[in-house]
């Protein structure tokens, strides 16, 4: 039996690797805090996650937690490439409305005897959720799975457009120097953030009617209209930027790193094996952990470009040569769809030989466990926000090679604000890769980077412990959600 006024949240992520796992962790701790939680996946993503994720199987067994799925409206055999996320988002918005509405405000009795949904916790880029919730007058708290630095840049896009800073003047953009011009319209980042550091949608837009630019502008403007905003970050990392965000969205909760906070609330505690927590679209190849066990301490470069990045075969070969030329050991996640073209044809004998001696290639790795392994010395990353936070939490310095979206902002902060990594943005070629790897792994600079990374890891750990800033923000969030359930 449920009491009148009991809280029930409907948690809806955008269906993608970078979005589902952090929202799953949030959903899990909401349920541990005593709320009823329904987690909405698309059929397609749920099937894929279920096949390869211990976390999903574990969560399905929790009391007050349940999964529900909706169709995404695309044909079964559609490849659903993330780079075309606008098509998926639009399909959900137009074709899945009825299904979503039925979950938010069911026409019949709840089969589990649960109370009605009292709050929607929705991904900020999922218009389906925000529009239907507004229509049904259910309060929404938004979640953005990017860092505060990128979210603040996104929120300032209208001012950047008004101030004539984007789109970039065409003639200047063509010249390399044009991209080094600093941006004035993002308060707190004036004179620091350059054109090249803005989210890729700003850099790529040729006009204000660019479809991606319009989408991110509107989605982020929409986020201002919620009851609050949840961010996967923490005060010690992004306090100053969070203050700016709070000037626009006063109720903003910084709950990160969520993958650590979820361990604080997990019944098994902070010592639970990391493997029980993983949620992935691809099957993890755990053999790389054995390989790491046989490597010396702090000797391995870990390379992963996340779930979306794509590059040409030549680009991939340049990375490969650079890694081999550095003489370091390396563990590289080469997703089956990472590069275009047949890679095998481009591998020369010496590259293959040296890789066998010092390298390990996998299709998908248990990343959290890899980063926590003592053999790992640094992380060559695309600067996706989850990877960035996971590296921060593990105290591992980064070499950042941003690919798109929020990643150019993140890499600028890693290299030049937090200083626990180097920003390789817009640089290419084997000699650059070799130089960057050496910089982060050898000599005084490497020591400095490791020291700052270690210090931030400690602050991350404290933020999620009892009394820490993320812990307190989470308590406030739960209190606010409970108060909403008494509103009607």
Nearer to ligand U2F, 145 or 264 (CB): 145
Q: What is the secondary structure of 239-291 as a DSSP string?
A: HHHHHHHHHHSS-EEE---HHHHHHHHSTT-TTS-GGGG---SS---THHHHH
- Contacts of residue 58, defined as CB under 8 A and 6 or more positions apart, other chains included, come to 276
DSSP-derived pairing of the beta strands 252-254 and 228-231 = parallel
Q: Find the shortest distance in angstroms from Cβ 207 to ligand U2F.
A: 23
Catalytic residue chosen out of the listed positions 32, 99, 123, 423: 123
Do you find a cis peptide bond into 186, omega within 30 degrees of 0?
no
Task: Give the whole-angstrom CA distance, residue 432 versus residue 427.
Answer: 7
Task: Give the whole-angstrom CA distance, residue 338 versus residue 313.
Answer: 9
Q: Find the shortest distance in angstroms from Cβ 466 to ligand U2F.
A: 25
Q: Answer for the pair 457, 449: CB distance below 8 angstroms, yes or no.
A: no
Q: Answer for the pair 95, 71: CB distance below 8 angstroms, yes or no.
A: yes
Q: Find the shortest distance in angstroms from Cβ 18 to ligand U2F.
A: 2
Rg (CA), the chain: 22
Q: Which residue ranges make up the site for ligand U2F (CB under 6 A)?
A: 17-19, 21, 145-146, 280, 304, 306-308, 333, 364-365, 367-368, 384-387, 390, 405-407
Do you find a cis peptide bond into 462, omega within 30 degrees of 0?
no
Three-state DSSP class for residue 403 = coil
Going from the C-alpha of 115 to that of each of 4, 362, 423, the distances in angstroms are 8, 45, 49
Catalytic residue chosen out of the listed positions 19, 32, 99, 321: 19
Three-state DSSP class for residue 337 = coil
Is 32 part of the annotated catalytic residue set? no
- Contacts of residue 403, defined as CB under 8 A and 6 or more positions apart, other chains included, come to 200, 305, 306, 308, 309, 310, 311, 382, 383
The single-letter DSSP state of residue 183 is P
Q: For residue 177, what are its two tokens?
A: 């120097």
- Phi/psi class of residue 294: alpha, beta or left (left: φ > 0; alpha: ψ in -120 to 50)? alpha
Q: Find the shortest distance in angstroms from Cβ 47 to ligand U2F.
A: 18
Measured from each CB, the residue nearest to ligand U2F is 18
| Phi, psi values for residue 92, rounded to 5° | -60, -45
Three-state DSSP class for residue 65 = strand
Is 123 part of the annotated catalytic residue set? yes
Nearer to ligand U2F, 308 or 478 (CB): 308
Task: Give the whole-angstrom CA distance, residue 231 versus residue 410.
Answer: 14
Q: Find the shortest distance in angstroms from Cβ 231 to ligand U2F.
A: 11
Q: Find the shortest distance in angstroms from Cβ 384 to ligand U2F.
A: 2
The single-letter DSSP state of residue 339 is B
Q: Answer for the pair 420, 449: CB distance below 8 angstroms, yes or no.
A: yes
Q: Find the shortest distance in angstroms from Cβ 145 to ligand U2F.
A: 4
The single-letter DSSP state of residue 178 is G
Q: Find the shortest distance in angstroms from Cβ 149 to ligand U2F.
A: 11
Q: Find the shortest distance in angstroms from Cβ 98 to ligand U2F.
A: 27
Task: Give the whole-angstrom CA distance, residue 103 versus residue 28.
Answer: 19
Q: Could you give the residue numbers annotated as active site?
A: 19, 123
């Amino acid at each position: 039996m449920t009491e009148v006024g009991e809280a029930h949240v409907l948690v809806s992520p955008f269906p993608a690797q970078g979005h589902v796992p952090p929202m799953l962790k949030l959903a899990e701790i909401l349920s541990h805090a005593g709320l009823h939680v329904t987690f909405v996946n698309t059929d397609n993503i749920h099937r894929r996650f279920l096949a390869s994720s211990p976390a999903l199987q574990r969560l399905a067994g929790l009391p007050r937690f349940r999964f529900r799925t909706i169709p995404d409206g695309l044909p079964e055999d559609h490849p659903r490439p993330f780079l075309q996320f606008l098509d998926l988002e639009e399909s959900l918005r137009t074709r899945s409305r009825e299904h979503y509405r039925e979950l938010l405000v069911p026409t019949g009795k709840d089969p589990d005897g649960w109370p009605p949904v009292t709050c929607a916790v929705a991904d900020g880029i999922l218009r389906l959720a925000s529009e239907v919730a507004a229509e049904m007058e259910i309060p929404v708290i938004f979640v953005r799975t990017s860092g505060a630095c990128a979210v603040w840049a996104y929120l300032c896009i209208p001012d950047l457009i008004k101030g004539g800073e984007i789109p970039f003047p065409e003639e200047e953009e063509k010249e390399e120097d044009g991209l080094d011009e600093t941006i004035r319209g993002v308060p707190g980042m004036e004179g620091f953030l350059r054109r090249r550091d803005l989210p890729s949608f700003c850099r790529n837009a040729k006009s204000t009617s660019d479809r991606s630019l319009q989408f991110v502008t509107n989605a982020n403007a929409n986020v201002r209209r919620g009851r609050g905003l949840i961010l996967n970050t923490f005060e010690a990392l992004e306090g100053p930027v969070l203050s700016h965000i709070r000037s626009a969205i006063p109720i903003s909760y910084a709950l990160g790193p969520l993958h650590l906070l979820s361990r604080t609330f997990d019944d098994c505690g902070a010592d639970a094996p990391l493997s029980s927590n993983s949620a992935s679209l691809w099957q993890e190849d755990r053999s790389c952990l054995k390989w790491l066990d046989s490597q010396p301490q702090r000797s391995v470069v870990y390379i992963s470009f996340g779930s979306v990045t794509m590059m040409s075969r030549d680009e991939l070969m340049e990375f490969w040569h650079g890694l081999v030329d550095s003489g370091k050991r390396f563990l590289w996640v080469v997703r089956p769809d990472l590069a275009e073209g047949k890679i095998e044809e481009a591998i020369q004998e010496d590259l293959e030989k040296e890789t066998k001696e010092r390298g390990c290639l996998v299709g998908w790795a248990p990343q959290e466990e890899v980063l926590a392994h003592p053999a790992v010395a640094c992380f060559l990353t695309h600067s996706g926000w989850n990877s960035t936070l996971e590296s921060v939490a593990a105290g591992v310095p980064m070499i950042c090679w941003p690919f798109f979206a929020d990643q150019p902002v993140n890499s600028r902060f890693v290299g030049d604000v937090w200083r626990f990594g180097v920003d390789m943005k817009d640089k290419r070629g084997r000699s650059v890769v070799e130089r960057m790897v050496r910089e982060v792994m050898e000599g005084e600079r490497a020591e400095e980077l490791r020291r700052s990374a270690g210090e931030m890891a400690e602050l991350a750990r404290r933020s999620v412990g009892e009394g820490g800033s993320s812990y307190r923000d989470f308590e406030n969030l739960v209190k606010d959600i409970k108060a909403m359930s008494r509103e009607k």
